[in-house]
Amino acid sequence: MATPLVIRDRNVMRKLILTNRTMGRRIGFVPTMGSLHAGHTSLVDQAVAECDDVVTSIFVNPSQFGPQEDFEQYPRDFDADFNLLAQHDVRWIFAPDVHEMYPPGDSTRIEISGPAEPYEGTLRPGHFSGVATIVFRLLQAAPSHAVYFGAKDWQQVLVVRKMVHDLKLDVEVVTCPTVRDTDGLALSSRNTYLSKSERKRAPTIYAALEQAEQNWCQGLAIDTIEQKLKDMLSAKEIQIDYADIVHTESLKKISEVSPNTPAIFLIACRVGSTRLIDNILLPSQALSSC
């Protein structure tokens, strides 16, 4: 365990990374909004395993929150985050303030259509433009060989991959598996918003996704699979924003169970006033996993 170096300045961060690249070191980057949990540290651990040096950013990005969303309330605890990252061998923590990333008068945004349009793109207008814009800027500040994201935010990963592809950015996008609590609830900084009783109901989300996976493998009709999931959540008073089986890349709705279509069940829902997202990859029925 080494003490990470905390850097607040974009230019300093960039020079440090470029210098280390020049020395032949492979750099891994884990962008976060802080409030770190085992999902984040799993990204860090994978980056540490695959790279010589790991940089983690902690930045609650205002441009990806809508005006009615939880930017102000979003949990922040730098000291706890620092200690956790130190335990996981992060070399640098990039922790700029808002004006460092968005100086006064700043007016350039990256807009992505395609994968950024449906689902979260529709329900959170501007969200993915905010994500793309900050990821681009963070990658300018920390020009790394690889950047790590969690599969829980599936659509976000697609959007970042699209930007990296379309703009030919020199970085590998690595997707890491969702980390769950023992009862199945996907780890999320927003889980701290849940009351005790809401926290008890929330694991139903993943239980319903697992049931859907089984129904998928048994060849039930898509509509039936989706309806059964919705029924299971409704029984626990969980409100559904969307719950669709879609193509993993195009995010187009899948109308028939097909052994060769790469499919994912995407869900966004509200437990009380807390909005949570989750997903499950639906295995190819030709595989033994089905």
Stretch that binds a second copy, among 70-78, 158-166, 172-180, 268-276 (CB under 8 A): 158-166
Backbone angles phi, psi at 277, to 5 degrees: -120, 155
CB of 49 to a second copy, least distance (A): 28
Q: Is 68 in the site for a second copy (CB under 8 A)?
A: no
Stretch that binds a second copy, among 75-83, 111-119, 174-182, 191-199 (CB under 8 A): 111-119
Pick from 19, 98, 106, 258 the residue near a second copy by CB under 8 A: 106
User: Whose Cβ is closer to a second copy: residue 136's or residue 193's?
Assistant: 136
Instruction: Give the number of residues in contact with a second copy, rule: CB under 8 A.
Output: 27
User: Whose Cβ is closer to a second copy: residue 59's or residue 193's?
Assistant: 59
Give the CA diameter of the chain: 58
Q: Is 111 in the site for a second copy (CB under 8 A)?
A: yes
Cβ neighbour number for residue 249 with a 10 Å cutoff: 12
DSSP-based three-state secondary structure for 32: strand
Backbone angles phi, psi at 8, to 5 degrees: -110, -15
CB of 20 to a second copy, least distance (A): 17
User: Whose Cβ is closer to a second copy: residue 129's or residue 215's?
Assistant: 129
Closest C-alpha among 181, 125, 186 to residue 152: 186
Q: Is 253 in the site for a second copy (CB under 8 A)?
A: no
Cβ neighbour number for residue 79 with a 10 Å cutoff: 7
Cβ neighbour number for residue 288 with a 10 Å cutoff: 6
Q: Is 97 in the site for a second copy (CB under 8 A)?
A: no
Out of 40, 88, 127, 145, pick the active-site residue. 40
| Residue corresponding to tokens 């969200």 | 127
Distance, CA of 280 to CA of 207 (rounded, Å) = 11
User: Whose Cβ is closer to a second copy: residue 30's or residue 112's?
Assistant: 112
Q: Is 247 in the site for a second copy (CB under 8 A)?
A: no
The answer to whether residue 165 is catalytic is: no
Pick from 40, 124, 145, 162 the residue near a second copy by CB under 8 A: 162
Q: Is 93 in the site for a second copy (CB under 8 A)?
A: no
| Residue corresponding to tokens 């501007």 | 126
CB of 146 to a second copy, least distance (A): 19
Query: What distances in angstroms separate CA 56 from CA 139, 196, 209, one per listed residue?
Result: 11, 31, 31
Pick from 36, 112, 134, 267 the residue near a second copy by CB under 8 A: 112
Torsion of CA 52, 58, 64, 68, to 10 degrees: 160
CB of 168 to a second copy, least distance (A): 5
CB of 114 to a second copy, least distance (A): 4
Cβ neighbours of residue 107 under 8 Å, at least 6 residues apart? none
Q: What angle do CA 243, 255, 238 make, to 5 degrees?
A: 15
Q: Given the rule CB under 8 A, which residues bind a second copy?
A: 10-11, 14, 105-116, 129, 132, 136-137, 140-141, 162-163, 166-169
**Residues belonging to the active site:** 40
